[in-house]
Amino acid sequence: MKKNNFDVKDAIIAGSIAGVVSGFVKLGWENLFPPRTPERDATNPPQQFLQQLGVPSKFTHATYTYSGHKLPWVSFLLHFGFSTSFGAFYTVAGHYLPLLKLGQGTFFGAGVWAAAHLIALPEFGTVPAAKDQPLEEHLSELFGHVSWMWVTHVVAEELLAENNQRQK
């Protein structure tokens, strides 16, 4: 569907690709600034959320091994699913509501962090109440979400601009 030379399909594709790229950035951020202690990360929030929905821990903690490291593929699946979904949503919705793009996605990222980590996840009992989360967790998650959405914005905008140039 096109509106003023805006193609929703192209935006979904660009936003999804941007979500994959920014998902890698967020993983890298969390390696430099881990949001949780190793004890609290023994069952990370994606795993905990799935378990709250009735998914057995044997599945939520399933791993694959790469270079001697056991890596949680189910958590990664949720991580990238979340990132690509929000990338596609942001890219499409930002066209119709340009206010979402304020600060090149940084304010949107901060809003997603607040809605998820300060309100929804504590309300569901997935993570502790915001007041009970350590400052390091707040800082890591806030700046991780801000950088995640900024990268989403930059990559999606560049992909759409290149696509528009090709179509001229």
Convert the pLDDT of each residue in 48-91 to its tens digit: 999 999 999 999 999 999 999 999 999 999 999 999 999 999 99
- 48 found inside a domain: yes
The segments of the chain whose pLDDT lies below 50 read: 1, 3
- 21 found inside a domain: no
- 30 found inside a domain: yes
| Domain count of the fold of the chain | 1
pLDDT at 3: 45
pLDDT at 167: 82
Return d(Cα 94, Cα 165) in angstroms, integer: 20
DSSP state of 104: G
pLDDT at 4: 57
pLDDT at 29: 97
13-50 b/e with 16+ CB inside 10 Å = b? bbbbbbbebbbebbeebbeeeebbeeebeebbbbbbbb
- 19 found inside a domain: no
Q: For residue 147, what are the domain limits? A: 26-167
- 53 found inside a domain: yes
- 110 found inside a domain: yes
The token pair at 31 is 């390696």
- 7 found inside a domain: no
Q: How many Cα neighbours within 13 Å face the side chain of 57?
A: 5
The token pair at 35 is 């949001």
Nearest to 14, CA basis, from 3, 26, 6: 6
